[in-house]
Structure 1
Amino acid sequence: MKRTLIQPRLDDFPDTYHALLQRGSVWDSSCSPEARVWYLEADGGCFLKSAPVGTLANEAKMAGFFAAKGLGAAVLDFRCENGRDWLLTSRVVGEDCTHYLHDPRRLCDLIATRLRALHELCFTDCPIQNRTATFLQSAEQGYRIGRCDLDFYAFPQKPFASADGAYRFLQENKHLLACDTLLHGDYCLPNILLDDWRFSGFIDLGNGGVGDRHIDLFWGAWTLAFNLKTEAYRERFFDAYGRDKIEMHRLSLVAAAEVFG
């Protein structure tokens, strides 16, 4: 995770965080202009995230749920002020998985088995109970406004020839997507933290909830290909996860939906 040392303007932050911001160095680790993220060194370290109002509520809920299971950072505070959501979480020890690319086979096997372990957990008390529905709604909205990238990830081997073709395939088969598994929702290497190869926790859980496991499987395969610049580890990833729970047709459905993401 990239960080840039800054001198924060206190007026840009809610009053409740001013003392914390003044007790130690502050680093900007934002990856997008919409969601700003700062690392605050005070009190052992914590992360403060800010985004337009209404966009971090689910992340706060899922972060708390994962933290209760020992799978992520504790939620220290969540509030809405001045048209923005603010989420303060504890620091998770370690670095994200992009720091472990030097041993790709070990990394591939680790994130596959860690994902399978996540997918085996009980989800009866999960605060987001139908992630599949919102996943499909997002694809529908993307199609309606013309958001489409057919080259995003040609997966499996037969990419879609047109937006209408991908949409038609999704509409005809979307009933096959299940809602029976606890998901991370954005299962990518920067969102999985390790401490010397030991799992530390998950971050960025705004798309998490109960849904179809193939959403996480799609992103797991994608993140390996994107970060390692090769498709060579896709089949290994599926093997390590366990082929008994993988249906290629459902992966194709997820791919069709992500065309409109």
Structure 2
Amino acid sequence: MAASLDFYLWARDTIGESGGAVYRLHGKAGAPDLFLKHGAASVAGDITDEMARLLWLADHLPVPEVRHFVRTDDAAWLLITAMPGRTAFQCLEDDPGAADTIVDALAAFLRRLHAIPIDTCPFTSAHPHRLARARARIDAGLIDLDDFDEARAGWSAERVWDAMQALLPLAPDPVVTHGDFSLDNILMIDGAVAGLIDVGRVGIADRYQDLAILWNCLHEFGGGLPERLFDQYGIAAPDQAKLRFHLMLDELF
């Protein structure tokens, strides 16, 4: 891998909370920009998960291309192409007048993702699976309480856990989900979605796994955008219990 990185300029990407190191490689004449992700211990497992999902998802949706992957007993390195476009967050921030069009494009792309046949997907992100991981993270003291949404500011991890348990069971509605369908993980060009990044949580889960996160992100921009998301997606009456559950589940990751 090292030889292929000669003559690139390196810039550390500090956006995100993966726990690993992410570098943008740029400035090499005649060569595309790349991203290099590196992590040890549990982060190495997350990087491995992303590599496997990128390879599978490439047959269905535009995602970064895997150029190289190395895994040792306690570390992983993933080299991928940089995708063109700006994040959906940047698009909404820079052009508020296009907000309705942007949300319509996001809803259409989410329907496309959720239409991938689940029998083709080898990964699970269903909430029983993620609850087990969340419980392990709570017990290990890995929850960042300061990063909770305003609605749960001051809560303990155990309070979030108990509130989720009170909402179970949930009627299953499995689809292929992104797992972290936030505005920062969606790239757009000319008002259309151009691709997805940070796909390490892709797997079969309830469709509200994606809907809840995007719905929550859109509240920052107001203007009826959260409601428009569900209208354009095709849900007349959102399931409030599923929204609350999946937003609380996201607090634990």
For Structure 1 versus Structure 2, the TM-score category normalised by the shorter chain is: 0.7 to 0.9
1:8 aligned partner? none
2:36 aligned partner? 48
The amino acid of 1:198's aligned partner reads: A
Change (3 A) 1:24 1:211: same
Q: Secondary structure at the residue paired with 1:210? A: strand
Equivalent residues of 2:105, 2:192 under 8 A apart = no
Change (3 A) 1:231 1:139: farther
Structure 2: gaps of 5 or more residues: none
Following superposition of structure 1 onto structure 2, how do residues 41-190 of structure 1 map, counting pairs within 5 Å?
41=26, 42=28, 43-52=31-40, 53-81=44-72, 83-101=74-92, 102=95, 103-144=98-139, 147=143, 148=145, 152=149, 154=151, 166-176=160-170, 178=172, 180-190=174-184
2:235 aligned partner? 243
TM norm structure 1? 0.79
Equivalent residues of 1:62, 1:127 under 8 A apart = no
Aligned counterpart in structure 2 of residue 197 of structure 1, from 185, 191, 197:
191
Equivalent residues of 1:132, 1:210 under 8 A apart = no
Task: Give the length in aligned residue pairs.
Answer: 240
Task: Give the drift of 1:255.
Answer: 2.8
Alignment of 1:37 with 2:31, yes or no, is no
Q: What is the rounded CA distance, in whole Å, between the counterparts of 2:12 and 2:195 in structure 1?
A: 21
Structure 1: gaps of 5 or more residues: 1-15
Following superposition of structure 1 onto structure 2, how do residues 215-254 of structure 1 map, counting pairs within 5 Å?
215-226=209-220, 228=221, 230=222, 232-243=224-235, 246-254=238-246
The amino acid of 2:229's aligned partner reads: F
The amino acid of 1:126's aligned partner reads: C
1:166-220 Cα distance to aligned partner (Å, 9 max, x none): 4334224433153621001110111111122232210001111111111111110
Task: Give the drift of 1:70.
Answer: 3.4
Equivalent residues of 2:106, 2:193 under 8 A apart = no
Change (3 A) 1:189 1:130: closer
Q: What is the rounded CA distance, in whole Å, between the counterparts of 1:71 and 1:131 in structure 2?
A: 23
Identity of aligned residues (%): 25
2:200 aligned partner? 206
1:100-120 Cα distance to aligned partner (Å, 9 max, x none): 111222222221221122111
Q: What is the rounded CA distance, in whole Å, between the counterparts of 1:133 and 1:26 in structure 2?
A: 40
Change (3 A) 1:201 1:208: same
